[in-house]
Structure 1
Amino acid sequence: MAMIRSLLPRLSLHELRTSFLRGISSNNLSASSFHDYTSNRDDDLKSKLLSLVYPRRNATTVLQNWVTQGRKVSIYDLREISKQLVQRRRYKHALEVMKWMEAQSRFQISETDHALRLELTIKATTLTEAEDYFTNLPNIASQKASYLHLLNSYVREKDTKKAESLMIKMNSYGANVTPHPFNSMMKLYIATSQFDLVLSIISQMKQSKRPRNVLSYNLWMTASFELYGDKYVNMVYNEMLNDKNVKIGWSSLCTLAHIYMKSGHTDKASLALRDAENKLSSYNHFGYFFLITNYASLKDKEGVMRVWEACKRVDRKLTCANYMCIMLCLVKLGDVKEAEKIFVEWESQCIRYDVRVSNILLGCYVRDNLMDKAEALHFQTLEKGGCPNYKTWEILMEGYVRNESMEKAVFAMKNGFKMLKHCDWRPSPVIVESILQYLEKSGNLEDGKWFLKVFRDLNLASLHVYQVLIRMHVAKGKAVGEIVKLMEDDKIDVDDETMTLVEASQMGSLS
């Protein structure tokens, strides 16, 4: 209790608990309000399916009950419902709707339906299941309509062999007529550093008179730079200028600017970015943050702020990701005060408190060893309804360890470990070692046992961790038989030092 109160210079324990619960309530309310239920009527199939929300609930059951009650449903309704579920990222339920729809013999399933079913299978299940579905599609037309989803999955997996095999197969069907599959292959070759194969793809497109789009040229410029430097890139860019089917926009100019930066031509990079600014949309924010990031890389704060102000004039709501981008760029440029101003601006208009935004300033304060400001910000986020994530606790943990506030560090680590079911985060070896040293010095066996249990659950329990816990038991005159049994279960090889500790423990228990 004293340790918790030491963490709360401005809030009582009751106030913190109240604000934390209020934050949870606020988040739940926001999550619910996100779903635009089109009808509240009990007899509306769309409402029933959209209101399932939780993945463990089954759309198939709802559909089957609906028709069992003698009610009708059309394929057009199911397509529309699936589309709305996808918009809400409810891929599992959308897939269940599509599966049920395909299972009804009275429905005529189109190539577009097959394509959506394949896409949802990739998103909601496994790639293997998606491959099986693709193989068993009823005709070539359905495969031609669907294969890009499978190809893009291979690109994400960097599976060159499967991607090339699929391209050859689909080319034999006459499917590769747009730039999209060729662009996907070029992305794959760039990701695997096979830049020469990108140029082979371009040659193939030219020979077969396949059209190229903006992305094709951007990828071509990127690969050309890696192989031959910026002079060859200029040749590609000039060819792009002369391509009547391609309109050069901000993305190509950003690609060019990035290449100039890597070549050390900062003046040329700045000129390219200024040209890109003139091509940004006045209807959406897409593109603005690519420029902001590039200007930050050039250490051009004026450019960063100019594009940010232009971005705010677009008649669209800025997202949390937008605010995170500008704050990260300003922190990178060393202007924490400006980042703080933008954070206050975000706080004043945010509907749901996203702790990822506050984490940017939290990390900045910890790196600058401003733990008072870090703690004040942390409790401010709790008061405003923010729920800490693993990164919040990791940042605080590092700050507490650096300041040797080890009791607080253990508190933060415990909270961080609670998040591990939902992510792959693991504390750094330096943090782990510092916590272990503190636990051994404090002699707190309860915390030591908790630490060991968590590490065993994560398959991180090492000989060193066990040795620390054995030494803690020996110092307290406690038996270590149970710990030795756990070491055997974990197949931890016992060295001479550990055997000496175990024998010392046995001698202590005998005396």
Structure 2
Amino acid sequence: MVFKVAATGLNFSRFQSLWTWRFVLYRLCSTNKAPPFNGSYRGGGDMEKRILKVVSSGVKTKSVLENWVDEGGRVSMNELRVITRKLIKRRRFGPALEILNWMETQHSSQMTPYDYARRQELTVKEHGTIEAERYFESLTSTFSLKAASLPLLRCYVEERSTEKAEAFMLKINKLGLALSPHSFNEMLKLYKATSQYQKIPSVILLMKQNRITLNILSYNLWMDACGELSGVESAEMVYKEMLSDQNVEVGWSSLSTLANIYKKAGLTDKAILALKTAEKKISNSNHYPYFFLITQYTSLNNKDGVYRVWKASKAVNSPLTCANYMCILSSLVKLGDMREAERIFVEWESQCRTYDIRVSNILLGGYMRNGSVGKAESLHFRTLEKGGCPNSKTWEILVEGWLRSQQMDKAIDALKNGLAALKDYEWRPSPSIAVAITEYFKETKNFEKAIEFLATLRHFGLTYLQVYKSLLRMQTSREESPLYILEMMQNDGIDMDDEMMQNDF
């Protein structure tokens, strides 16, 4: 263990995309025609409206605030916090950071730990780790350092930088800043993400030695590590300790973790029992827990559990999202219940506002894998009629399905149509698709069609060694010179492998 604790206390349709870009271009043109902002915007007497109105035009939020003060306007720190939250919600991280910088510069005595933490989070988003490190080093008060430490540590964890995270953890412990479970939990998450499970018990021991209370996340990560290191019995001991800890309330997430440990150990009955207990712990305030359990029941091949939790999820007082429908459809397709998947798909179609092609792709893939090509084709045409815009996954499912059913003409047409439709999205089909089509031409001895297909691939910047090898075999079988194909390989920057060198192409 490197550190020690110091002893201290949607996928939109093309039609919508066009209108989105027309709107953006209109706004850009309008902005260009308007006179430049001179720091004295007088669009009203509401500071929030002023900021939100000019934030997309490149005007510095600081200028708006300073102008507001020069005009005699009053500045409320709470109002600035509200504006900051709205900007973050709109993903306007730069302007939000400018407001927090201004708050810190002008009213540092009124800055709260939350303000410092949020400022550090935005610094990471806008300027990266190095600038966040500089900001941390510039702070002097204990409470500001403590508030800014967690976002920086979290940044190291997200980068999977074990060395930096451990060094920083050592530093904040020496400063007496790591007095809550949150920073330790970040280290536990890091060790799990990097499969360094052997380090997790040492972190838990340090927390206990320094009387840092373990929370649910601490226990879950510890339990999971014990399952990986020592097996079921060790994980069950952690679970029992959690049950006896009056500071935590065991919820669905802990039982879900335990169920996953049982599943890995092949104890299916115990896993299902743990999930059934987890169902009783779910609050119907949001959908997430239900669909997490649905995924676990699916992995256990337990249809009854999937149906039961799906039905229970309807009790949540908010609409189901496309992601929710994708989850249940994916589960039903994996379980082979296409009839129920079709019923739920129709339910989704009846209430969706925007036709999300990702939802229909799940059913489309299920049909193609099951060999129900006719149903897949009917579904594809239906999605087009309803305004669905095929994405790369759609075309890949169609091409692979038609290849599998030996409907080569349809597969080739779909590949060409998909490449043409998605040329701006840099779709790169699986090499196996291109190779399968080339091999088909080889078997049917249709060299001209193979060359035509190669031209299509090259037109879209797709070049594969295996395709060229198939063409070279075709050419040599025709007892013709392969020089033309070798020249194309050279132009495409593809080198010959050992097999080709041995065959002396």
TM tier, shorter chain? 0.7 to 0.9
Q: Does the alignment pair 1:487 with 2:493?
A: no
Aligned to 2:212: 210
In the alignment, is the contact (CA less than 8 A) between 1:189 and 1:198 conserved in 2? yes
**Residue 48 to residue 416, structure 1, CA distance change in 2 (3 Å):** farther
* CA–CA separation in structure 1 for the residues paired with 2:490 and 2:54: 45
Aligned to 1:155: 157
Among all aligned residue pairs of Structure 1 and Structure 2, give the percentage whose two residues are the same amino acid: 45
Q: Secondary structure at the match of 2:461?
A: helix
* CA–CA separation in structure 2 for the residues paired with 1:50 and 1:383: 39
Segments of 5+ residues of structure 2 without an aligned counterpart are 1-11, 25-41
Judge which range, 374-383 or 93-102, deviates more. Answer: 93-102
* CA–CA separation in structure 2 for the residues paired with 1:124 and 1:405: 50
> Residue 455 of structure 1 is aligned with which of 455, 458, 461?
461
Q: Does the alignment pair 1:433 with 2:435?
A: yes
In the alignment, is the contact (CA less than 8 A) between 1:449 and 1:469 conserved in 2? no
Q: Look up the equivalent residue of 1:369 and give its one-letter code.
A: G
Judge which range, 123-132 or 361-370, deviates more. Answer: 123-132
**Residue 226 to residue 487, structure 1, CA distance change in 2 (3 Å):** same
In the alignment, is the contact (CA less than 8 A) between 2:396 and 2:429 conserved in 1? yes
**Residue 135 to residue 414, structure 1, CA distance change in 2 (3 Å):** farther
In the alignment, is the contact (CA less than 8 A) between 2:262 and 2:268 conserved in 1? yes
* CA–CA separation in structure 1 for the residues paired with 2:483 and 2:117: 60
Q: TM-score, normalised by structure 1?
A: 0.77
Q: Secondary structure at the match of 1:356?
A: helix
Q: Look up the equivalent residue of 1:307 and give its one-letter code.
A: V
* CA–CA separation in structure 1 for the residues paired with 2:263 and 2:503: 59
Aligned to 2:449: 443
How far does residue 227 in structure 1 lie from its aligned partner after superposition? 1.8
> Residue 281 of structure 1 is aligned with which of 280, 283, 290?
283
Q: Does the alignment pair 1:379 with 2:378?
A: no
**Residue 367 to residue 73, structure 1, CA distance change in 2 (3 Å):** farther
> Residue 274 of structure 2 is aligned with which of 262, 272, 275?
272
Segments of 5+ residues of structure 1 without an aligned counterpart are 1-18, 32-40, 503-511
Judge which range, 160-169 or 260-269, deviates more. Answer: 260-269
Aligned to 1:108: 107
Aligned to 2:148: 146
How far does residue 164 in structure 1 lie from its aligned partner after superposition? 0.8
How far does residue 331 in structure 1 lie from its aligned partner after superposition? 1.6
Aligned to 1:191: 193
* CA–CA separation in structure 1 for the residues paired with 2:352 and 2:433: 34
Q: Secondary structure at the match of 2:249?
A: coil
The alignment of Structure 1 onto Structure 2 pairs a total of residues equal to: 462
How far does residue 204 in structure 1 lie from its aligned partner after superposition? 0.6
**Residue 354 to residue 496, structure 1, CA distance change in 2 (3 Å):** closer
Q: Secondary structure at the match of 2:363?
A: helix
* CA–CA separation in structure 2 for the residues paired with 1:219 and 1:105: 36
Judge which range, 481-490 or 403-412, deviates more. Answer: 481-490
Aligned to 2:337: 335
Q: Look up the equivalent residue of 1:199 and give its one-letter code.
A: P
How far does residue 360 in structure 1 lie from its aligned partner after superposition? 0.8
Q: TM-score, normalised by structure 2?
A: 0.78
In the alignment, is the contact (CA less than 8 A) between 1:362 and 1:377 conserved in 2? yes
**Residue 419 to residue 108, structure 1, CA distance change in 2 (3 Å):** farther
**Residue 482 to residue 261, structure 1, CA distance change in 2 (3 Å):** closer
Aligned to 2:8: none
In the alignment, is the contact (CA less than 8 A) between 2:227 and 2:234 conserved in 1? yes
In the alignment, is the contact (CA less than 8 A) between 1:121 and 1:129 conserved in 2? yes
* CA–CA separation in structure 1 for the residues paired with 2:262 and 2:492: 57
Q: Look up the equivalent residue of 1:455 and give its one-letter code.
A: G
Q: Does the alignment pair 1:252 with 2:251?
A: no
* CA–CA separation in structure 2 for the residues paired with 1:280 and 1:466: 56
How far does residue 311 in structure 1 lie from its aligned partner after superposition? 1.0
Alignment of 1:316-395 (within 5 A): 316-395=318-397
* CA–CA separation in structure 2 for the residues paired with 1:227 and 1:494: 43
How far does residue 202 in structure 1 lie from its aligned partner after superposition? 0.9
RMSD of aligned Cα (Å): 4.0
How far does residue 266 in structure 1 lie from its aligned partner after superposition? 2.4
In the alignment, is the contact (CA less than 8 A) between 1:261 and 1:269 conserved in 2? yes
Q: Look up the equivalent residue of 2:120 and give its one-letter code.
A: L
* CA–CA separation in structure 2 for the residues paired with 1:59 and 1:77: 22
